[in-house]
Amino acid sequence: MMDELLLKNDNKVIFLILDGLGDIPNPPFDLKTPLEAAKKPNMDGLAVQRGVLGRIIPVDVGITPGSGPGHLSLFGYDPQVHEIGRGVLEVLGLNMKLKDGDLAARANFCTIKEGLVTDRRAGRIPTSETERLCGLISSEIKEVEGCEVIVKPGKSHRFAVIFRGKDLTDRLTDADPHKDNKPLTYTSAKAPEAGFSARVVNSFMERVMVLLKAEPVANGALLRGFSLKPDITPFTEKFAMKALAIATYPMYRGIAKVLGMDVRDEPANYDEAVSILKKNYNDYQFFFFHVKETDLAGEDGNFEEKVQAIENVDRFLPEIAGLDPHTLVITGDHSTPCPLKGHSWHPVPALIVTKTGETDGRAFHEKNCLAGSVGTIYSKDLMSLALAHGGRLDKYGA
């Protein structure tokens, strides 16, 4: 139905996404959340003067989402219908060439001791170390089981892998224990036809461990998010808006590319990201602006760092709001509560800054969002609400 209601105009919609924004009461900090504790006069000012509040459910009630499903639903795609693997997102975000039939994987360097993965992130080694290690792997492991291997470094401990050959499938389990101090995990086939693909991945992991055995910290690799190139309706076609994505981390540029959004630059910091937004503002109607540090702090269980990340966004928020979009949405793709040190099923606080004159008159945090006028909705429905506030949906019926 929505495609029949779409209005083509130049009204602007900005999604400012603070990854992992949602949280729960933190006992050591007077049961506040980082969003509640943060000093964010600009964000709260917008909320009080022009904002309506609510909460969004990324996938379904009680379901903990990954970043891929979390972002897909933000952009109006049902993540239970459109499943896109993390590997494809990482590979495209790193500007790797993905061909039909390629098997993509997201990878971490890790620390392995006596068969246990003692640190899944290898101490978050610097990007320069990852670049060195990926160079070593690329020079020594060019093919596995007759399949070409293409490796490219990402940020910190992350990298991406493409396996290129015949008869590859993504019907594989993650080769990752997902927790520290757990036994090293290899991939296994989810279907009979995936046996060869599992053998390719596991052979690669074993050869990497042999190659890196003398490394003091990063002496192994974990692979997950196995995926093939997807077939999905482009965002511009689905919502009649030309879209630009601005993200410092590769995976989120990958999400944008899968959906057909433009990704013109790779900003080194958020001042640069804001400059890219301003420079391209007249040429697009939709903007996806991604912030990663809130999620990193949540995964580390670091309340103070998550507060600081929110306050850092508040510093440059006036430059974004000053562009005067018809709709500015500030929310997250999922919750990453500090006490849980990981993604969770909790609804995500959402602020919609509009020009309709509506306001809930309250500061932006989880407790106020629970009582907000938007209510608790599914993330996949947020886009239609943003379009409505942005004057981009026509009346339904006579």
> Is 73 part of a structural domain of the chain?
yes
215 and 346 in a common domain: no
Q: What is the pLDDT of residue 193?
A: 95
131 and 53 in a common domain: no
CA distances from 108 to 32, 153, 301 (A): 33, 10, 20
What is the per-residue pLDDT across 245-284, written as a single tens digit (0 to 9) for each? 999 888 888 889 889 999 977 898 999 999 999 999 999 9
Q: What is the pLDDT of residue 95?
A: 86
> Is 326 part of a structural domain of the chain?
yes
317 and 370 in a common domain: yes
Q: Point out the domain boundary residue: 179, 205, 227.
A: 227
CA distance 362 to 350: 12
50 and 168 in a common domain: no
- List for the chain the helix, strand, coil content (%; round to 5): 35, 25, 40
Q: DSSP string covering 209-239, please?
A: HHHTTT-SS--EEEEEEEE-------HHHHH
Residue 75's closest CA among 390, 384, 294?
Answer: 384
Q: What is the pLDDT of residue 229?
A: 85
* Tokens found for residue 10: 């130049």
Residue pair 301/336 in contact by the 8 Å Cβ criterion: no
DSSP 178: S
Q: What is the pLDDT of residue 92?
A: 86
185 and 115 in a common domain: yes
- Give Dmax (Cα) for the chain: 73
Structural domain containing residue 121: 89-227
40 and 62 in a common domain: yes
> Is 395 part of a structural domain of the chain?
no
> Is 30 part of a structural domain of the chain?
yes
236 and 383 in a common domain: yes
> Is 394 part of a structural domain of the chain?
no
129 and 37 in a common domain: no
CA distances from 193 to 163, 172, 179, 189, 190 (A): 16, 10, 29, 8, 9
340 and 199 in a common domain: no
What is the per-residue pLDDT across 343-381, written as a single tens digit (0 to 9) for each? 999 999 999 999 999 999 999 999 999 999 999 999 999
> SS3 for 5-38, per residue?
HECCCCCCEEEEEECCEECCCEHHHCCECHHHHC
55 and 144 in a common domain: no
**Number of domains making up the chain:** 2
Q: What is the pLDDT of residue 1?
A: 62
> Is 396 part of a structural domain of the chain?
no
DSSP 123: G
206 and 237 in a common domain: no
Say how many C-beta atoms besides its own lie within 10 A of residue 122's C-beta. 27
Q: What is the pLDDT of residue 311?
A: 98
Q: Point out the domain boundary residue: 183, 208, 227.
A: 227
Q: What is the pLDDT of residue 368?
A: 98
Q: Point out the domain boundary residue: 227, 255, 290.
A: 227
Encode the chain (398 residues) as per-residue pLDDT tens digits: 677 899 889 999 999 999 999 999 999 999 999 999 999 999 999 999 999 999 999 999 999 998 889 999 999 999 999 878 889 988 988 889 999 899 999 999 999 999 999 999 999 999 999 999 999 999 999 999 999 999 999 989 999 999 999 999 999 999 999 999 999 999 999 999 999 999 999 999 999 999 999 999 999 999 999 999 888 899 999 999 999 999 988 888 888 988 999 997 789 899 999 999 999 999 999 999 999 999 999 999 999 999 999 999 999 999 999 999 999 999 999 999 999 999 999 999 999 999 999 999 999 999 999 999 999 999 999 999 999 999 999 999 87
Domain CATH code at residue 71: 3.40.720.10
384 and 252 in a common domain: yes
Measured between its terminal Cα atoms, the distance across the chain in Å is 15
